[in-house]
Amino acid sequence: MLAHLLRLAGIETIVLEARTRDYCETRIRAGLMEQGSVDLMEEVGATERLHREALVHGGIYLRFNGRSHRIDIHGTTGRSMYIYGQQEIVKDLIALQLAAGGDIRFECSDVSIDGLDSDRPTLRYVDAAGDETRVTCDFVAGCDGFHGMSRPAIPESVLQTYDRQYPFAWLGILSESPPLDPELVYAHHPDGFALFTMRSNTMSRLYLQVAVDEDIANWSDDRIWSELHHRLEGEETPPLIEGPVLQKSILPMRSFMTVPMRFRRLFLAGDSAHIVPPTGAKGMNLALADVAVLARAFETFYATGSEHKLDAYSATALRRAWGAARFSWWMTSLTHVFNDRLAFDNMAQLSELHYITSSRAGAETLAEQYVGLPIER
């Protein structure tokens, strides 16, 4: 997305990607886009397939005490959410960038940065053919994920980090089966959280709260389905339809924030700077918002020579990132079972779920953040 926004502003980029194109286009990741993320896809002209295939959602269900309550997201905010897999976004953006003559280099390994102190940093890497290669540039955008080399390239003495681990994980499956409901169901259940979401009208994505150190080998398909029926179904809900499990994995839950998001000519964006627990689906949307802010800062610099937006990038991006981090932490705290909590805290959690689903102000608080906070550019 950053490469697209910059290309449209007449700024040249080179994208170094560790994986193969096929890997990027097929790995199952996030699937829920905020309206603002769709607006960005619109801005770069990448919505042709999205508008054809994405499922538009105007609400979600919160389920607790055996009943489902709808939060009317569109009714309260005038905005919608879109179901469209991250790998589909990646597919569309790669195709468009290559068609426009953009430079994406796949299978780059051993990437390192030299000369961050200078005006012309250099990236060294080993290319797909195994040759040592260098790229010298004006700026480096560290969009290389939580385990990438960008964040560690910044001296520890200038970074502050905020880390929060959660005492549980998610087990996620992709199932070839029709949706339980046309909208997402976030379920609080005494035996643990469950989430029903989807990728299409024939493909469901389901998650279960499991122990933090859970071994996937303990979860046969039968056990997973039995637990999903148990946590998601009730008298007034239709039965969950089972289908072949195409993929299953365990996802860790963590909040991690890096401050600042810039060191000299290196700018961090997305997971390289921060990760959020998956509840509320903020990770990918936050990464897209980061690069929207960053693209505008580069654009201003190249158009006017002014560095004021580059200097403001970290603070601007962090204001929104903390909003998403807080929301993801809050959605997680609201809907999961914490075994170490006091009985009082569990009652307060149920009371908060009741408040969010019965008060207009409560529902608006959730809806406004769920649909996505504004992007300050």
State the catalytic residues. Answer: 57, 186, 278, 282, 370
Shortest approach of ligand DHB to residue 10 CB, angstroms?
Answer: 36
Shortest approach of ligand DHB to residue 64 CB, angstroms?
Answer: 16
Q: Applying CB under 6 A, which of residues 1, 5, 11, 32 lies at the interface with ligand DHB?
A: 32
Residue closer to ligand DHB by CB (options 150, 279) is: 279
Asked if 197 interacts with ligand DHB (CB under 6 A), we say: yes
Q: Applying CB under 6 A, which of residues 37, 279, 314, 357 lies at the interface with ligand DHB?
A: 279
Asked if 372 interacts with ligand DHB (CB under 6 A), we say: no
Shortest approach of ligand DHB to residue 142 CB, angstroms?
Answer: 24
Asked if 280 interacts with ligand DHB (CB under 6 A), we say: yes
Shortest approach of ligand DHB to residue 280 CB, angstroms?
Answer: 5
Q: Applying CB under 6 A, which of residues 57, 79, 205, 274 lies at the interface with ligand DHB?
A: 205
What region does 331 belong to: left with phi over 0, alpha with psi -120 to 50, or beta?
alpha
Shortest approach of ligand DHB to residue 205 CB, angstroms?
Answer: 5
Tokens of 222: 């039968």
Region of 28-36, 97-105, 209-217, 314-322 interacting with ligand DHB (CB under 6 A): 28-36
Asked if 270 interacts with ligand DHB (CB under 6 A), we say: no
Asked if 175 interacts with ligand DHB (CB under 6 A), we say: no
Residue closer to ligand DHB by CB (options 30, 295) is: 30
Phi, psi of 228 (to 5 degrees): -65, -45
Asked if 369 interacts with ligand DHB (CB under 6 A), we say: no
Q: Identify the CA nearest to 82 among candidates 15, 35, 46, 141.
A: 35
Region of 19-27, 29-37, 117-125, 175-183 interacting with ligand DHB (CB under 6 A): 29-37
Strands 59-64 and 14-16: unpaired
Region of 118-126, 138-146, 261-269, 279-287 interacting with ligand DHB (CB under 6 A): 279-287
Asked if 335 interacts with ligand DHB (CB under 6 A), we say: no
Q: Applying CB under 6 A, which of residues 58, 59, 121, 278 lies at the interface with ligand DHB?
A: 278
Asked if 281 interacts with ligand DHB (CB under 6 A), we say: yes
Residue closer to ligand DHB by CB (options 84, 313) is: 84
Tokens of 25: 């286009």
Q: Which residues bind ligand DHB (CB under 6 A)?
A: 30-32, 184, 197, 205, 278-281
